[in-house]
Chain A
Amino acid sequence: GNSVTQMEGPVTLSEEAFLTINCTYTATGYPSLFWYVQYPGEGLQLLLKATKADDKGSNKGFEATYRKETTSFHLEKGSVQVSDSAVYFCSFGNEKLTFGTGTRLTIIP
C-alpha cells in the first residue's frame, strides 16, 4: 500500500549547519510530493511541492527534488536558522494525502 518513510528525529543542528531530511515513498503512479512544516501550536503549512519527476520544489531556502528512480524527495537547506525549528512532514497524494511520521528539527544558536 501507499506509505512514506521519513528520517526519524529528533534532529538537532547548530545554526548555519547543512540540513538533510530523507524521505522515500511507496505509491502507485506518480503522485504529487509535498513537504509540510508545523510550528509549535499551529497547523501544517505547505513548505514546498513537486508535481512530476525531476521537478525541484523550493521555498525559504529549502529544496527538494522529485526522484522517480529512487522514489525519494529529500529535503535540504544549506544554512539553517533558529527559526527553522519545527516538525517537518513529507507527504504525497492528489487531495488525499499520505504522510510520513514527521521529523522534529531543533536549531541551536
Chain B
Amino acid sequence: DIQMTQSPASLSASLEEIVTITCQASQDIGNYLSWYQQKPGKSPQLLIHSATSLADGVPSRFSGSRSGTQYSLKINRLQVEDTGIYYCLQHYSAPLTFGSGTKLEIK
C-alpha cells in the first residue's frame, strides 16, 4: 500500500500569513494527488486535483505543487474561513490512501 505522510499535524497561523502543508508519498504516484478541506460536521471539499490544478470555485490563494514524491498545499494570505482540517489523497493505485490530516487554526 502507498503511505502518505502528512505534516504538520496541526498549524496555527495569523491572518494574511502564508502556510504550507506537505504530503510525502512512499512511492511514485505521478500527479494523482488531490487536496481536501473539511470543516467541523461537514464533508470534505475538493481544493486541488492532479497535484497542481485548482478545483472550480476555489479561491486562487490556494495552490498545489509537486517535487518528486513530495506534494505541497500552499495558502497565501490566510483568511478566517480557511480554518479546518486538510487532507491529501493519493488516487494512483488502490487502496486509495489519505494523509493523516492537518488541523489549521487562526491565531
**A and B associate in one complex:** no
